Copies of this chain bind each other. A is one copy, B any other.
Amino acid sequence: MAKTHKAIHTPGLEGALDRLEHLCRARGQRLTRQRRAVLSSLLSAGRALSAYELLERLRPEDGKSTPASVYRSLDFLMTLGVVHRLESTRSFIACEHPETPHWVQFLICRRCGQVVEAEDERIAAATESLGQRLGFALDQRVVELTGVCEGCRGSAARH
């Protein structure tokens, strides 16, 4: 059977949860039901979600989630590097390649909401070098580039 239909089983979900377990174990942190649920939910959403959108998706499964608990889980997953926050849209997204510690950039389509995570050497080098030149010891880099993706420019010519 050809893979013409959208996969029902989110690809990589299992792998990501395994990775989460290993990360927790390695760092002596607890892997709780909620943390697993938050990551799964973000992964299966396949896009960035606001904390409250995430909350709505968790509620059916786990009626006792609250804003505070969702934010706590998100903070935790961010320290592990398996979730990122998009500052310019106040939303959260599962990391696409959490294997390596990394500085990433995001490209966000303002039409369809698609988010692409990139790991560009030139940008990494240029930002680091700017920091040094200005005397900053950088520990966080937000690079979020918004525009219109190829697909959206092609299809909806002018709208």
Chain A residues within 8 Å of B, Cβ to Cβ: 87-88, 105, 107, 109-110, 116, 118, 120, 122-123, 125-127, 129-131, 134-150, 153
Complex: how many Å from CA A118 to CA B134? 9
Out of B127, B130, B141, B145, name the residue touching A138 (CB < 8 Å): B145
Please give the distance in Å from A65's CB to the nearest CB on chain B: 25
- B-chain residues with CB within 8 Å of residue A127 when the two chains form the complex: 105, 123, 143, 145
**Given contacts A123-B127, A134-B118, are A143 and B142 in contact (CB under 8 A)?**
yes
Contact A142 B88 (CB under 8 A): yes
Please give the distance in Å from A69's CB to the nearest CB on chain B: 22
Contact B136 A149 (CB under 8 A): yes
